[in-house]
Amino acid sequence: MLFHVTMDVDIPRDLDPAERADTVAREKAYSQDLQRQGKWPHIWRVVGQYSNVSIFDVESADEMHEILWALPLFPFMTVQVTPLCRHPSAI
């Protein structure tokens, strides 16, 4: 199943700098592992924002849910998920 996911990140400014650095590093490692597995084939930064637009290719909505909830930055995110299906005019 394909999902279009928009993630807007809002880390509190008063978060301990060491905790912030650790969380961001864990987020990067986790996301890159998912990319290597082929579950997160596309990720684009939204210019001028701490935000991304991504395409996930996973087995189910449940798997998509679990992936998102396991993101280290998830507590600081607003996430919008849209399931996708093939368009009949696609080549």
Estimate the share of the chain in helix, then strand, then coil, as percent rounded to the nearest 5: 35, 30, 35
Residue entry with tokens 């993630």? 7
CB 10, CB 22: distance < 8 Å: no
Q: How far apart are CA 67 and CA 89, in angstroms?
A: 30
Domains of the chain: 11-84 (3.30.70.1060)
Please tell me the pTM assigned to this model.
Answer: 0.92
pLDDT per position as a tens digit, 26-80:
999 999 999 999 999 999 999 999 999 999 999 999 999 999 999 999 999 999 9
